[in-house]
Amino acid sequence: MSFLDFSSQYKPIINDSILSYCQRRLDDSRELLRESIQYTLSSDAKRIRPLLSIASFLMMNDSKDIKRIMPFSVALEMFHTYSLIHDDLPSMDNDDYRRGRLTCHKKFGEDIAVLTGDILNTIAYEILARDLKEHYSSDSILDLISEVSHALGINGMVGGQVIDIKSTNNSSSFFKSNLSKMHQLKTGKVIMLSVVGPFILQNFDQDMIAKLRVFGESLGLLFQITDDLLDVTGTKEQIGKSPLKDENQNKLTYVSLYGFESAKKLASQEYEKSLNSLSELGKMKTDNLHNILEFVYKRTY
């Protein structure tokens, strides 16, 4: 099954599951917050992180059992969306468009956007704690929540964002190794979480989880490099946000630090590393992960 086929099969399930959590209307001013939540979650997104979680889940399970992983998949997209809402704020990257339409703060105001990000983070943890209990042990759920907290915190996504906003292309002390560190935290940790989460829930062999971490971290870095390339080559319609945003804000990226052609070579190297890490998984059914990897790598060409 190609990535497009895989996405066509599972994205509608993901979208329906996500929106099921924000349908109930409220009869006071909180309704504006619910509308903002629904607006941001219903945008035309690739859903790479939940798709990764499903691909990982299917390595161990049959597709008829897909409902078992959906709470985790939904939570992943909520965590990711909350980070995008905050990332787009005027005090951060100050972007007007995301996923092909106005950013949350442009549509609802900066105050509601901050609160929308806050509540998505909160709802996602509630979903993990409440809706996984039907399918997994309490110990496994606690292990997953611990993994999630680490991936999102100061040693993960938020920590990487701090490094990002405090760096520019003029930062002479910002070495190349720190660029990789920034994106391993900001992007790589959540992508890695998407891959290892299903295995943690099923209390799988730790050696296999360690190998999946290597793949997820490498895929996350590849995702960011190709994202930096797309900022230069992509159109607003293709990438769903303002092109050349990083360049205009003098942001430190793989393209600004290495140059476009060298950044392409780095993407190729990370792609090969990801391929090699997949081969370490032995007889596991890795076709879907492989196809997602191919999509991420080739989306700039």
Mean pLDDT for back-to-back runs of 10 residues, the chain (301 residues):
93 95 88 95 93 97 94 98 95 89 95 97 97 96 97 95 77 65 92 97 92 94 92 65 60 86 94 93 90 90 50
Q: What is the pLDDT of residue 99?
A: 86
Half-sphere exposure of 4 (CA within 13 A, CB side): 2
Eight-state DSSP code of residue 187 = I
243: DSSP letter:
T
Give the angle subtended at the CA of 117 by the CAs of 293 and 178, to the nearest 5°.
Answer: 50
Query: What is the predicted pLDDT for the residue at 300?
Result: 65
Instruction: Judge whether 293 and 275 are in contact, CB under 8 Å.
Output: yes
Q: Which residue has the tokens 């060409």?
A: 301
Largest Cα span, the chain = 55
Tokens standing for residue 192: 């890695």
Predicted local confidence at residue 93, as pLDDT: 87
**Topology adopted by domain 3-298:** Farnesyl Diphosphate Synthase (1.10.600)
> What pLDDT, on the 0 to 100 scale, is given for residue 238?
57
Gyration radius (Cα) of the chain, Å: 19
How many Å apart are CA 294 and CA 15, to the nearest integer? 23
* Per-residue model confidence (pLDDT) at position 172: 46
DSSP class of residue 223?
H
